[in-house]
Chain A
Amino acid sequence: QVQLQQWGAGLLKPSETLSLTCTVYGGSFSGYYWTWIRQPPGKGLEWIGEINHSGSTNYNPSLKSRVTISLDTSKKQFSLKLSSVTAADTAVYYCVRGYGSGSYYHVWGLGTLVTVSS
């Protein structure tokens, strides 16, 4: 059974760079799109972007200038970097597995709360 384990810094100051990593356990790394989705406290879900096993990426246009998603296939890991964070980036960040580019999501990490505060 596939599991996603994620980690990263939970408290950032404004203008810093958010960095999260997700490791895939128990399943294939290829053939899927590895995705980041976030949820501000008490609010809805926002898709951040995705990457496939060959490194092809797609990003949310509203975040594209600040987002980088990368992967390390040897470690079965993918990572998110979001630069120049503000309080508006405070959210629970989920790593997620999708079947293809722009898909539905049936495997989710537990989520990491990232708080941006001075």
Chain B
Amino acid sequence: DIQMTQSPSTLSASVGDRVTITCRASQSISSWLAWYQQKPGKAPKLLIQKASSLESGVPSRFSGSGSGTEFTLTISSLQPDDFASYYCQQYKSYSITFGGGTKVEIK
């Protein structure tokens, strides 16, 4: 299996901050990476696929970058609605794996 490692596991930030979350793959996954946002008690919501393609309706303050083994999710100016958990997911291998998650908390 391809292992996905996210950092940090928890992040404390304020409204307006620029936030960056990192996801590393144990082997190259090209650009086959997705990012999700999850709020408590809700299903994950797809934000980005193919490492940098923003899903329709997702605010432009979210962006993704990277290829190979290192990827980042950036929120350019954190908004109150963005306090949530974020997960990366590789889909190069059909045996899908997710990162352990990053919880973005209010500072």
A60 at the interface (CB under 8 A from B): yes
B52 at the interface (CB under 8 A from A): no
In the assembled complex, the Cα of A45 lies from the Cα of B93 at a distance in Å of 16
A61 at the interface (CB under 8 A from B): yes
We find that the number of chain B residues with CB closer than 8 angstroms to chain A is 21
A/B pair count, beta carbons within 8 Å:
48
| Contact among B1, B49, B99 with A104 in the assembled complex (CB-CB below 8 Å) | B49
- Please judge, given known A-B contacts A44-B100, A47-B95, whether A105 and B87 are in contact too, CB under 8 Å: no
| Contact among B1, B87, B94, B101 with A101 in the assembled complex (CB-CB below 8 Å) | B94
Tell me the A59-76 residues at the B interface (CB within 8 Å). 60-61
| Contact among A46, A102, A110 with B43 in the assembled complex (CB-CB below 8 Å) | A110
Chain A residues with Cβ below 8 Å from B71 are none
| Contact among B45, B55, B95 with A58 in the assembled complex (CB-CB below 8 Å) | B95
